[in-house]
Structure 1
Amino acid sequence: MDLSLVIPIYNEAENIPLLISAITNSLKDTNFTYEIICVDDGSIDGSIEVLRSVAKIHSHVKAIILRRNYGQTPAMAAGFEKATGKIIITLDGDLQNDPADIPLLVAKLEEGYDLVSGWRKNRQDDTLTRLLPSKIANWIISKITGVKLNDYGCSLKAYRSELIADLNLYGELHRFLPALAYIEGAKITEIPVNHHARRFGKSKYGLGRTFRVIMDLLTVFFIKKFLTRPMHVFGFFGLFSLILGVMIGSYLTFIKLGLGKSIADRPLLILCVLLILTGVQLFCFGLLGELLMRTYHESQQRPIYRIREIVNN
């Protein structure tokens, strides 16, 4: 199989037949063999029935029905697990992504990239509630992760299947797939793609996701910087706290024993104890992190490096 198209579905009953038709038309003049994997994430609007009927009609459509609404990341993970194509394409089920851009993504991927991300350059969404927050978020994410993209939120992306095999998705990390792929050593690029206004249904995105995005961003930042060396971050702050606490303790000891003054009513005494305890705890966190990191890699036989190619005679 050349292509696997993974499409998370949540309450998109009216869009599904049109989307399948648009994908089929965009690929009919190519030589690609492909499959369309639609993952229903607990829809309650009749999308499940529509997917069942479409899957029975079209041999290249596979419908995966999840037991309840898990979220977009688990839905994508379910689709990735069942995908058999050499290249995996993701897109939304709301018809805002244009299936006509799929051949362009594949062509760009074949230039030697591992991931090609779509950029909704002329995005058809509300300015205040969608466009402005998105621009701010994209700038922040690019700065923190080190992967500069204009549009992290675009679901239309193309991946090599071996890259997807290296990625483990949890929480709501689907929006940070380029950053996670970069951690695995992937070559990433971005191309402008079409974007259409929503015709049917309601958007599932809003400002309410801001907090979760921030938490996931901090997770990605830690994974990128310290996944294989957690002691470097915990140990540094632990050592700093411990040294500062010992210095303050030495000063208070001199005051008590050398000068004979009382230190019981000094706030520095509480700060000294707090810093020493914090330093010891951070060291313990670092050691536990090192043990967990080794368990994580060794239990999965997961290497701490990725080889792109081996050249010999």
Structure 2
Amino acid sequence: MSVYLSIVVPLYNESESVEKLLATIVEVGKEFDFDYEIILVDDGSEDETWEIIERLKRTTPQLTAIKFRRNYGQTNAMVAGFDHATGEIIATMDGDLQNDPSDIPTLLDKIKEGYDIVSGWRKNRKDHILRVLPSRVANAIISLTTGVHLHDYGCSLKVYRAECIKPLEAYGEMHRFFPALSSMTGARLTEVPVKHYQRKYGVSKYGFERILKVLSDIFAMNLIIRFSSMPLK
């Protein structure tokens, strides 16, 4: 049978969480009435993440794994997962156990209603205020810049029709713009509240440098929109 759902998860130094993450996804998958695959992308981890993935592959037939030689960033890891995905629908999520795989069926229900992209909204977000406030500012700027309003562009838990997400080109931190870019080409987009948990293991990869990258990509996105809307001479 053909694969209906591909679940893409970028990982960077998640040795303490990857085994529990995979077990949770597989448990949720028991309720699926379709075939699915899990694509873990090791984004150049410096801990034991890859060794654990290789061990888990031996007992998890749904699992495909990709390893980067060095850290290329979350966007590139997602795109690599998209390139390897064979499903009609692609789900993305973080690998740090802050997203809940049990929310995936809720997002899929919206796909069945006719939407092309369903974005998670961490309505009750469990991060520190110093992460939440910049994120809210970025969400407001992105919504204003693109004309596509979402409460939570930064939430990695999303579901896409493969034909909407695979053609997109991305770099930097552009993965957060995927819903807006797809919506601007005619894709139907909606947002659904999802659960969010405090990080239990490891440390956040979201620092000042990443904030600067996001701001840079917002500027680049603004240029893309401006020039794509200019009439040809």
TM-score (norm 2): 0.95
- Matching residue's letter, 1:226: F
- Matching residue's letter, 1:174: H
Residue 176 of structure 1: aligned partner: 177
Contact 2:117 2:187 in 1 (8 A): yes
Per-residue CA shift, 1:148-190, capped at 9, x if unaligned? 0000000000000101122112222111111211222111110
Sequence identity of aligned pairs in percent?
Answer: 53
Per-residue CA shift, 1:100-135, capped at 9, x if unaligned? 0000011111111110000000001111x1111111
Contact 1:183 1:224 in 2 (8 A): no
- Secondary structure of 1:57's aligned partner: coil
Determine if the alignment matches structure 1 residue 207 to structure 2 residue 208.
yes
Residue 167 of structure 1: aligned partner: 168
CA RMSD of aligned residues (A): 1.4
Q: Which moved more, 1:106-115 or 1:84-93?
A: 106-115
Unaligned runs of 5+ in 2: none
- Secondary structure of 2:58's aligned partner: helix
Contact 1:41 1:70 in 2 (8 A): yes
Residue 105 of structure 2: aligned partner: 103
Contact 1:180 1:220 in 2 (8 A): no
* Aligned positions of 1:198-277 closer than 5 A: 198-227=199-228, 229=230
**2:74 aligns with one of 72, 75, 89:** 72
Q: Which moved more, 1:30-39 or 1:212-221?
A: 212-221
Which protein has the larger Cα radius of gyration, Structure 1 or Structure 2?
1
* Cα separation, 2, equivalents of 1:230 and 1:19: 48
* Cα separation, 1, equivalents of 2:150 and 2:13: 29
| Structure 1 residue 230: Cα displacement | 7.5
Unaligned runs of 5+ in 1: 233-313
May I ask how many residue pairs the two structures share in their alignment?
A: 231
Contact 2:118 2:160 in 1 (8 A): yes
Contact 1:119 1:190 in 2 (8 A): yes
Contact 2:43 2:74 in 1 (8 A): yes
The structure, 1 or 2, with the larger RCO (C-alpha pairs under 8 Å, 6+ apart) is 2
- Secondary structure of 1:176's aligned partner: helix
Determine if the alignment matches structure 1 residue 186 to structure 2 residue 162.
no
Residue 122 of structure 1: aligned partner: 124
| Structure 1 residue 231: Cα displacement | 6.2
Higher helix share: 1
| Structure 1 residue 27: Cα displacement | 2.0
